[in-house]
A and B are shown apart, each in its own frame.
Chain A
Amino acid sequence: MEDMDLYLKKHDEVLYHYDIDDHVRELARKYGFLEYMVERYLNIFGSDAEIFMKSCSAQLKRSLRCNTLRTDCKKLEDRMNERGFKLSKVSWTRYGYVVENTPVRPTLGSTLEYMKGYYYIQGLASMIPPEVLSPSEDDLVLDMAASPGGKTSHLAQLMGNRGVIVALEKNTARLRRLNSNLARLGVANTITVPIPGDYVSSIGIKFDSVLLDSPCSGEGLLPVDPSRRTKTLPQHLREFQRVQLSLLIAGIRSLRKGGKLVYSTCSIAPEENEVIVNFAVEKFGLRTEEIRGIPADPGLVEYKGVRFSEDIKKCIRLYPHKHGTEGFFVCSMRKE
């Protein structure tokens, strides 16, 4: 952990220094964000910062993932059409649909098809990490922060309910939700384990694939939850960083040689994304892998004067104003 502390300390002063001028203050007032967040957006987006902040007020279209463990997608489309929903397939995901039209009743989360587990209501960007991990039917997969089970069930679907997924969730209420969703969706190849992700070594096995969809500030969910404009302070980002690094280290240590680890967050904060995966590349020698076929921006190789490995360019970033999804970050890495 000494390595981790030194690494975080190395960049702390630069990352958490904010130049708040009149322009920043004006934008913060105009869009209702904390000033330090606006300063960061100017660093990330440059002249597009206002476009980004404006997009956080626009509602994202609802989306769902067809669950082929319970139905086939054509049948789902037809059934939902009969109920007054119009679904349109998203070309860059295997099972994702945008919900173009909804009836007054029933709501998307109360249809018979929902109760039968035909689909899972999920943001489009959240469908990316399991498809990038792309586990095979024989794999032993670790899902380090599994609740409420959207990505776990997606992994099970990709594996055809074969192989084994070990899904970790330490919180009792969240574990209950995870188990309920897995049962509803017909997921039969998953063992749920009530331990925190950084205790995974206590299981005593090496995994073929690891998914770390890490706890984060949720800064990418601004369009969904406006309270996030003022909820997260710099100190919270620091705390998340420690959790994320700790989990990533545990995940890397549980991965067999040649195995694949996908790190993702619903955050656009470089502090929670590039800073974290750069540690994996620099200290553990993990190699990032290209992610193809998804409309996204590349990972940042520089932020506020802090330079990251060129490898980080192969990670991807999604934004509401450019890609029509929640803000998201995904990085695929191989342990050599």
Chain B
Amino acid sequence: MKELIDASLYSLRDKVFMFPHGLPRQLHSKVLLGAFPIASIGLPILLKRNTYLPLLPLGPYLVDHCQNKLNLPDRLSQKLLYGKKIKVRETYSFEDALLVDNSNEFLAFLRLRLVSKGTEIIPVLDIGWYLREGG
């Protein structure tokens, strides 16, 4: 998290990027002036929509600082990593959560919805995306 706090942030089109140690001065001014086209600067961490939405590279930074985490049995996690929603009998007091594995490593951002007899768990963005659409 210290790396995130100390990083320089750049807003480019619809994303916010994190560049950990800052750019050298001559490059920094060229970037700010738009002297050449740029597709990305460091890690993309937020997507700008009506609000700011987290992107996958932000996930590992959040696991040690977020309370709302789910560690599910493998067969359920696998479904979520295919981008598919699941239903469980448990209910939760929160609507957004991180999916983590047994080693507390980040797997997905989740949305939780109360339904009859349980909770619908929807993967908002999961690391399976890298296989499905990452290229």
Indicate with 1 or 0, residue by residue over A172-191, a CB within 8 angstroms of chain B CB atoms.
01011101111110111111
Asked if A205 and B26 sit within 8 Å, CB to CB, the answer is yes
User: Please, how many angstroms separate the alpha-carbon atoms of A175 and B55 in the complex?
Assistant: 18
Given contacts A140-B27, A164-B24, A192-B40, contact A204 B57 (CB under 8 A): no
Set A161, A175, A184, A204: member contacting B130, Cβ < 8 A: A184
Residues of B within 8 A of A163 (CB): 21
Asked if B131 is at the interface of the complex by the 8 Å CB criterion, the answer is yes
User: Please, how many angstroms separate the alpha-carbon atoms of A134 and B60 in the complex?
Assistant: 28
Within 8 A of A (CB), among B1-32: 7, 18-21, 23-24, 26-27, 30-31
A-B pair count, CB < 8 Å, reads: 97
With both beta carbons as reference points, the residue of chain A lying nearest to B56 in the complex is identified as A183
User: Please, how many angstroms separate the alpha-carbon atoms of A112 and B106 in the complex?
Assistant: 11
Residues of A within 8 A of B127 (CB): 112, 115-116, 184
Interchain nearest-CB distance for B17 vs A (Å): 9
Asked if B26 and A189 sit within 8 Å, CB to CB, the answer is no
User: Please, how many angstroms separate the alpha-carbon atoms of A182 and B7 in the complex?
Assistant: 17
Q: Which of B24, B40, B56 has the most CB of A within 10 A?
A: B40
Number of chain A residues whose Cβ lies closer than 8 Å to a Cβ of chain B: 37
Asked if A295 is at the interface of the complex by the 8 Å CB criterion, the answer is no
User: Please, how many angstroms separate the alpha-carbon atoms of A116 and B37 in the complex?
Assistant: 29
Asked if B134 is at the interface of the complex by the 8 Å CB criterion, the answer is yes
User: Please, how many angstroms separate the alpha-carbon atoms of A244 and B19 in the complex?
Assistant: 32
Within 8 A of A (CB), among B90-135: 101, 105-107, 127-128, 130-131, 133-135
Closest 3 CB pairs of A and B: A180-B134, A177-B135, A115-B127
Q: Which residues of B contact A (CB under 8 A)?
A: 7, 18-21, 23-24, 26-27, 30-31, 35-44, 55-57, 60, 81, 101, 105-107, 127-128, 130-131, 133-135
Given contacts A179-B44, A187-B43, A191-B41, 7 further A-B contacts (CB under 8 A): A112-B101, A115-B128, A179-B39, A182-B43, A183-B43, A191-B27, A203-B35
Could you show 30 A-B contacts with beta carbons less than 8 Å apart?
A: A109-B131, A112-B81, A115-B130, A116-B127, A140-B27, A161-B21, A162-B21, A163-B21, A169-B39, A177-B135, A180-B130, A180-B133, A181-B134, A181-B135, A184-B134, A187-B43, A188-B18, A189-B21, A190-B42, A191-B27, A191-B31, A191-B38, A191-B41, A191-B42, A192-B39, A192-B40, A193-B38, A195-B37, A204-B30, A205-B30
